[in-house]
Structure 1
Amino acid sequence: MPHPDNSRDEAIRRLDERAAALQERTTPKVHDYGSKAAGYGYRLMGVLIGGVFVGLGFGAGADVLFKTAPWGMIIGVLVGFGVSIWMAVRSAQRMTAEAAKEWGPPKDLPFDDEDE
């Protein structure tokens, strides 16, 4: 005949396992928004700075080829800046769509009476 304490301990252990499994299924997962947002910011900054430097390089190359110094660099920097702004806007739109698909719609903050 089984010892009653063993069956009771076994039942408690199984109940603890089921409770832990239930808690794992029902507890909402916390997303790490900070590191992903920082990555998005660095990516946009790289696009902006890179566009200006690429325009500067092309402008300097045009100055050497066509002997139009400093107009090639000036026009290259301005065109590079414009292109980098356009690319940053497109990248931001793509990142926003990706984040909305992954994290769902943004959640509003609860109303705070103390601010008034």
Structure 2
Amino acid sequence: MSTPPESRQEAIARLSRSASDLEARTTRQLSHEAAGQKAAGQAWKIIADLFGGVFVGLALGFGIDYFAGTTPVGIIGGVLLGFAVSVWMAWRTAQRLMAEAKQHGEPQSVPFDDDEDQGA
């Protein structure tokens, strides 16, 4: 028993529905990937703030020691000051990100990939 051939209009409507379904799935998946990349970028920025502050403090302390002749004091003070500034910068960045997250509302649940493949 073969199925009756569908008309041209029915075939176009069926293909249009499947194309719009495919576009909706890929758009949602790309938006989740973009959100993940944005979160990773923000995490790297916080890490860079932490390390950057310490290294800048170390360099400034070394410069002070070199010109002033106070060998361990400048480096120790520079590292401590750089660490304090880097923690403050990371805290400020985290507060800004939390404020942005509150503006966008509750994050939506992301389905597992296995759940989407079961229907196919």
The alignment's TM-score, normalised by the length of structure 2, stands at: 0.66
Q: Sequence identity, in percent?
A: 40
Count of aligned positions: 102
Report the counterpart of residue 106 of structure 1 in structure 2.
Answer: 107
Report the counterpart of residue 8 of structure 2 in structure 1.
Answer: 10
**SS of structure 2 residue aligned to 1:72:** helix
The alignment's TM-score, normalised by the length of structure 1, stands at: 0.68
**SS of structure 1 residue aligned to 2:28:** coil
Q: Decide whether the 8 Å contact of 1:56 with 1:80 is kept in 2.
A: yes
The CA deviation at 1:46 is 1.1
Larger Rg: 1
Report the counterpart of residue 29 of structure 1 in structure 2.
Answer: 28
With over 3 angstroms needed to count, the CA separation of the structure-2 counterparts of 1:68 and 1:91, relative to structure 1, is: same
* Structure 1: distance between partners of 2:106 and 2:57: 37
Q: Which segments of 5 or more consecutive residues in structure 1 lack a partner in the other structure?
A: 110-116
1:45-87 Cα distance to aligned partner (Å, 9 max, x none)? 1110110000000001111121111101100000000000011
* Structure 2 residue identity aligned to 1:14: I
The CA deviation at 1:21 is 5.2
